[in-house]
A and B are shown apart, each in its own frame.
Chain A
Amino acid sequence: DAKTTQPNSMESNEEEPVHLPCNHSTISGTDYIHWYRQLPSQGPEYVIHGLTSNVNNRMASLAIAEDRKSSTLILHRATLRDAAVYYCILRDDGNYGQNFVFGPGTRLSVLP
């Protein structure tokens, strides 16, 4: 499985944008980039995913580098409810047997 590298922790102030980086220099052409987040004592929840183009949804935006070796999850206005562990995952969605690999992720703290 292709690996991702994320900072262990980040801090943000409430109502400011947050940029969460993810490096994936060994990404293959068929790997999708998935982001999940996990609030304390809960299961992870899906945030966003993309392949090559930047993506937007109601929760966040995903900016993917042109060479696809890195990506950034963007929360446009952080709230206290966004404090969570964020996981960046690569998965070959065309590979029926491949599974999601959740690393330690980035712990985001949001300061009031």
Chain B
Amino acid sequence: DGGITQSPKYLFRKEGQNVTLSCEQNLNHDAMYWYRQDPGQGLRLIYYSQIVNDFQKGDIAEGYSVSREKKESFPLTVTSAQKNPTAFYLCASRQTGIAQPQHFGDGTRLSIL
């Protein structure tokens, strides 16, 4: 089945460490997105990529970095500069075009030890 795979489901990080969250899709979608969700809140856009080797900052990009070297992969690195990284991270992909929906993974929950 086609879909989006995020790994790991749960991740723990020590203070001062960088950590990378994986997102892979086999839907052949051009666009990919990373969102952050805090308890009881909506989703906030961190980074997005409309095409390979290109990505744009979203609303809360500070303390995060991404790469898009392959169409199917869009890893997110949470750096030590992100002061409050504990959150639920969601990856999505979408085929560009009119009325195309976003498809989401099941998320990675990141916690600080």
Binding site for B on A (CB under 8 A): 32, 34, 36, 41-46, 49, 51, 87, 93-94, 96-97, 99-105
Partner of A49, one of B41, B58, B99, B103: B99
| 7 contacts across the A-B interface (CB closer than 8 A) | A36-B102, A44-B43, A51-B99, A87-B42, A93-B100, A99-B45, A99-B48
7 closest Cβ pairs, A-B complex: A43-B104, A46-B101, A102-B43, A102-B42, A93-B98, A103-B42, A104-B42
Interface size on B, residues (CB 8 A): 29
Rounded to whole Å, the gap between the CB of A9 and the closest CB of chain B is 11
Most chain A C-beta atoms within 10 Å of own C-beta, residue among B56, B105, B107: B107
Knowing A43-B107, A49-B101 touch, does A104 contact B96 (C-beta < 8 A)? no
Q: Are the C-beta atoms of B50 and A45 separated by less than 8 Å? A: no
With CB as the reference atom, state the residue of chain A lying closest to B44: A102
Assess whether B35 is interfacial by the CB under 8 Å rule: yes
Q: Are the C-beta atoms of B42 and A46 separated by less than 8 Å? A: no
Q: Are the C-beta atoms of B107 and A41 separated by less than 8 Å? A: yes
Rounded to whole Å, the gap between the CB of B60 and the closest CB of chain A is 13
18 A-B pairs besides A32-B98, A36-B102, A105-B42 with CB distance below 8 A are A34-B101, A42-B104, A42-B107, A43-B4, A43-B92, A43-B104, A43-B106, A44-B90, A93-B99, A93-B100, A94-B98, A97-B50, A97-B56, A99-B45, A102-B42, A102-B44, A103-B42, A104-B42
